[in-house]
Amino acid sequence: MEARSAEHLPAIDGPWQYEPKWDGFRCLAFKSGNAVELRAKSGKPLGRYFPEVIAFFRELKIAQFVIDGELVIETEGRFSFDALQMRLHPADNRIRKLSVETPARFIAFDLLADINGNASLDEPLRARRKALELLITKAGVSDRLDISPRTLDRKKAEKWLQAAGGETDGIVAKQLEDPYLPGERTMIKVKRIRTADCVVGGFRYASKKREVGSLLLGLYDAEGMLNHVGFTSNMPAGERPRLTQQLEKLRSSPGFTGKAPGGPSRWSTDRSSEWEPLKPELVVEVRYDHVSGDRFRHGTGFVRWRPDKSPRQCTSEQIVQPSPGSSRISRGG
């Protein structure tokens, strides 16, 4: 189940449940007997990278469930996304070492199958939440498994939003009567800073040396075409030599299968046609202020790489804002 960005929390057409938006890896956890599996939003398996979470779920005195939640790692009293990224490492001994030094925690916020093995996707969120609370109660107090707090009070959610920026980066609003709809953007996410996950469809060299100067960003449309939507150029300077080598290995036409860089527009420069197409494999999160039409109005700010996201999850729906006064977000698209 996905979320669509909005600038404000919904004011009408509820009732709504508000939850913190955690700064971690979205994850589905499956258990059936001793078999435990963790899956990322992209569908890729995550269990290899988080053996301590697999072990914890396996030892739980609960035979079966499917829960939706977030993997987080706490370091020095704060959640660390960098610590999560360090887990995506090919060496098993390195992963085992980190799993002991910085163990991950699973924050659960939805239930797809209950402790009796009954699928609950068609149940309203109100019922799924009660079943999830029962599961957490049966699991007992643990530093490996939490349930995400929630509130039905919009004013309280606004306070949470104002405090976002540390362990959380916004608020997610869900309608209490909605079923669980996999892959559909029925939830609303509101961030203090607006961000989007984009595919790196190409890059430009810096003007004075053969080093990456900017990344060209793309989003998939409803027809599955990758359209150029803007650029980001403030990657950390120390990463640029290594990043340039990585990008050069990914060079491949066409880069963008829909709208491509180089056409005349207000964003064009003298060097607009000079760019290198890439295989659509890298995903980057960028910060932006405005969207004009179907692309970013200005250059965006580099936030971080997203190795946990599939490029195909980077759709234009992320930056489509609901019309003024609209409170119900259309499903799918």
Task: Answer yes or no: 21 catalytic.
Answer: yes
Q: List the beta bridge partners of residue 232.
A: 215, 300
Could you give the angle at which helices 92-101 and 51-59 cross, rounded to 10 degrees? 60
CB 139 within 8 A of CB 6: no
Q: Of 21, 31, 174, 191, which one is the catalytic site residue?
A: 21
Structure tokens of 312? Answer: 């195909």
Lookup: tokens for 185: 């953007």
User: In angstroms, rounded to a whole number, what is the distance separating the alpha carbons of residues 160 and 170?
Assistant: 8
Secondary-structure percent of the chain, ordered helix, strand, coil, rounded to 5: 20, 35, 45
Cα separations in angstroms, 27 against 114, 120, 242: 17, 17, 30
Contacts of residue 262, Cβ cutoff 8 Å, sequence gap at least 6: 268, 272, 273, 275
How many Cα atoms occupy the beta-carbon half-sphere of 310 within 13 Å?
A: 11
> Collapsing DSSP states into helix, strand and coil, what is residue 91?
coil
Q: Give the Cα separation of 208 and 230 in Å (integer).
A: 22
Please list the active-site residues. Answer: 21
